[in-house]
Amino acid sequence: MIVISQLFNQQEVAELIASLPSSSWEDGSKTAMGMAADVKNNNQADCDDPKVQALANRILAQIGNTPDIVSAALPHHIFPPVFNRYSESEEYGYHVDAAVMRLPNSQNVMRSDVSMTLFLSDPESYDGGELVLRSDSGEQAVKLPAGYAVVYPSRHLHKVNAVTKGTRIAAVTWMQSMIADPSLRDTLYQMDKTIQALINSGTTQRSELDSLNNVYHNLIRQFAII
């Protein structure tokens, strides 16, 4: 799990919220698949609304311009972000995201390897609403400042706790990574972080950095599925 600080600043978050249509919201359970529909109780902005599509594209552009997300996910395909709204008593019980998703208005499909939740509501404006991830190490609750995002493996069971006061708005997206193996993807992320740290330290010779960078890219070249 990786937290991205200020994917959008406060002014940008305010612009995103203000641009969301007030009327183009629908029952979120209609967009869920299989067992997830039984535990999904929220509202989702109409993905066919041009204003919603414009906001989704803005988030997609920001993802592409954020090196830490690119390094962690190594995305090949990204599902257009969807906007969810949770009012009082609404929640999304434990579920697993669909392994294969059809891209909107397309016959193309993608595999969901990595998920990202972008928090758009001030955490002090609502109670509850934590994103809870369940992994081999236990449960972890996440509730971040507006504009922050969390990137996590799609394979984990997760839920959104019931909102008990206020309204929680967030954007969610999924990515198909060029590297399907999560262990290898994590290793490559750690390797890239080490390379960047060595570059910033200014104490490592250029020839050594070139060698490490060569190994990194050759591993991607060997294992990437595109």
25-27/114-119 β-pairing: unpaired
Q: Is 27 within 8 Å of 138 (Cβ atoms)? A: no
The total of other beta-carbon atoms located within 10 Å of residue 148's CB is 20
Nearest C-alpha neighbor of 159 from the set 173, 141, 137: 141
d(CA 28, CA 32): 7
Does 217 appear as a known binding residue? no
Does 77 appear as a known binding residue? no
Nearest C-alpha neighbor of 45 from the set 104, 108, 132, 128: 104
Nearest C-alpha neighbor of 225 from the set 175, 174, 181, 173: 181
Does 156 appear as a known binding residue? no
Does 158 appear as a known binding residue? yes
Annotated binding site for Fe cation: 95, 97, 158
Q: Could you tell me which residues are annotated as the binding site for 2-oxoglutarate?
A: 168
Residues at the annotated binding site?
Answer: 95, 97, 158, 168
